[in-house]
Amino acid sequence: MLDFKPRCADRPWRRIALARGLLACLLASLILPFAAHAAADKSATAAAQPNALLGLNFGLAVGNQQDQYVAAQALSSLLGNAVHRKIIWESGFNLAKTQPTGGNEALSFRYAFVKPPNLTAALLGKGWHLVAVGEDTIHFGTDLIAPSCPGQPGKVLLGGNSLSILDMGTHPAQTCVTPDQVWQSPSAVMLAPKEGSLVDLIAQKIWREHGAIPQHIARVQTQNAVVGLMRDMHVAAVGVVTPVVAKAWAAQGGIVLAHRPMPFWALVAAPDVPLQEIADARSALMSPSTAAVNKALHIPGWIDGDPKQYADFLKWLKG
C-alpha cells in the first residue's frame, strides 16, 4: 500500500501564509465597517451644521459683475469646505445687515469679505474677528488726480467750459495753477463718487489737511464715472480715484495731487464664531486650495493682518 501525504505537509511556510491570510481577512472585516461608520459620522456632522451667510462689500469700484460673481462663488466654496457648512453669499453687505435676516430660516451673517476699511474697522470694533487680509500689491488707497495745463509743465488745469457736462449750475473760470495752489483755488471742482462714501470722505479729509475745503463738489455715483469724465470728456476737475487709475493717469502725463493709503481687503468673522473655526478658515485661505479665490480677486495671497491698522485708519478719518 502506498503511503500518501499531502504535498504541502512537508512545507510549513504554506501553513503560516494561510494563517496570515486568514488573520488579515479577519482584521479587515473588523476595521472597514468601523472606518465607513466614522466617515458617515463625519459627513453627517458636516451636513447637520446650519447654513451660514457670507456678506460681500466690493465698494464703489464697479467692475466686471461676472468677475465679482466668480469671486463670490469661489470664496463661499472654499469657506464651506473649510468650516464644514454650506455658505450662502449675499452682496451689498453693510453694518445694518449684521442682524438676522428673514426668509425660510433666519440667518445671521457669519462671515464678511469687505473692501472698504472703514466698514472692516467698524465690524472689528463690534467684536468681529479678523480672519485674514489680502496681500496688497496695488498700493490700495484713494488718490486725487488733475489734468496738466497745456504748455505749462507741472501746472494743473482747472475750470472752464469742460465743466458744463457736470450740470453744476456754475462754471468756475479756467485757470492754470501749481499743485500746492489747487486746494485754495476758486476754480477747483472735486469730482467724486457717491456722497458720504468712503472715498468722498477721504478726499474731503485730504483737502482739509491742506488748509481748505473744496468749494465745488460734483458727485457721479461711481469711480468709473469719474475716470470716464476726466479721461474721455476731458473735464478739468480734481478726480477722486484708485491708485491703479492714478498710476495710469500719471503715465499719460496727468498730475497726481495726493495719495492716502488704506488697509487692504479683509475677511472677517462674526463675534460668535469659535476660534477653531476661524483658524480653519484662515488655514484654508493660506493653503494652495485658495488659488481660484486669489485669481478671481486678482491678489497673490493672504496674510494674518493687524486689526490695529483698521482702528488707526478710522481714527484718522474721524479726527
152-158/148-149 β-pairing: antiparallel
Grade residue 59 by pLDDT with cuts at 50, 70 and 90. Answer: confident
State the chain's mean pLDDT as an integer. 85
- The letter for the amino acid at 142 is T
Grid coordinates representing 235?
473735464
Grid coordinates representing 1?
500500500
More confident residue, 204 or 194: 204
> What is the pLDDT at residue 312?
97
Cβ(245)–Cβ(223) below 8 Å? yes
Collapsing DSSP states into helix, strand and coil, what is residue 132? strand
Q: Phi, psi at residue 235, to the nearest 5°?
A: -70, 125
Residue 270: HSE in the Cβ half-sphere, 13 Å Cα cutoff? 17
Q: pLDDT digit string (tens) for 209-226?
A: 999 999 999 998 888 899
Q: pLDDT digit string (tens) for 13-46?
A: 445 444 455 445 444 444 444 444 444 444 444 4
For the chain, what percent of residues have pLDDT higher than 70?
Answer: 82
CA separation for the pair 200, 296 (Å, rounded): 27
CATH of domain 49-138+263-318: 3.40.190.180
Distance of CA 273 to the CA centre of its chain: 20
Average pLDDT in the 115-130 region? 97
Collapsing DSSP states into helix, strand and coil, what is residue 114? strand
> What is the pLDDT at residue 61?
61
> What is the pLDDT at residue 3?
45
Average pLDDT in the 278-296 region? 96
Average pLDDT in the 252-269 region? 97
More confident residue, 50 or 318: 318
> What is the pLDDT at residue 230?
95
- The letter for the amino acid at 20 is R
| Range 203-209 contact pairs with CB under 8 angstroms and sequence separation of 24 or more | 203/142, 203/144, 203/240, 205/260, 205/316, 205/317, 206/142, 206/144, 206/258, 206/260, 207/183
Grid coordinates representing 22?
486568514
Hey, how many other C-beta atoms are within 10 angstroms of the C-beta on 43? 11
> What is the pLDDT at residue 98?
87
More confident residue, 33 or 139: 139
63: left (phi > 0), else alpha (psi -120 to 50), else beta?
beta
Alpha helices for the chain (secondary structure H): 12-48, 65-83, 117-125, 198-209, 223-232, 243-251, 275-285, 291-297, 307-318
Q: pLDDT digit string (tens) for 65-117?
A: 888 999 999 999 999 999 999 999 999 999 999 876 555 345 789 999 999 99
> What is the pLDDT at residue 252?
94
- Annotation: CATH topology of 141-261: D-Maltodextrin-Binding Protein; domain 2 (3.40.190)
> What is the pLDDT at residue 169?
81
Q: Phi, psi at residue 261, to the nearest 5°?
A: -70, 155
75 to each of 68, 185, 300, how far by Cα in Å?
10, 46, 15
Average pLDDT in the 175-202 region? 94
> What is the pLDDT at residue 108?
87
The answer on pLDDT for 233 being more than 80 is yes
Grade residue 63 by pLDDT with cuts at 50, 70 and 90. Answer: low
Q: For residue 100, what is the DSSP state? A: P
> What is the pLDDT at residue 20?
55
> What is the pLDDT at residue 62?
54
Grade residue 305 by pLDDT with cuts at 50, 70 and 90. Answer: very high
Considering only CA atoms, give the Rg of the chain.
Answer: 31
CA separation for the pair 166, 172 (Å, rounded): 12
CA separation for the pair 148, 255 (Å, rounded): 6
The answer on pLDDT for 160 being more than 60 is yes
Residue ranges matching CATH 3.40.190.180 in the chain: 49-138+263-318
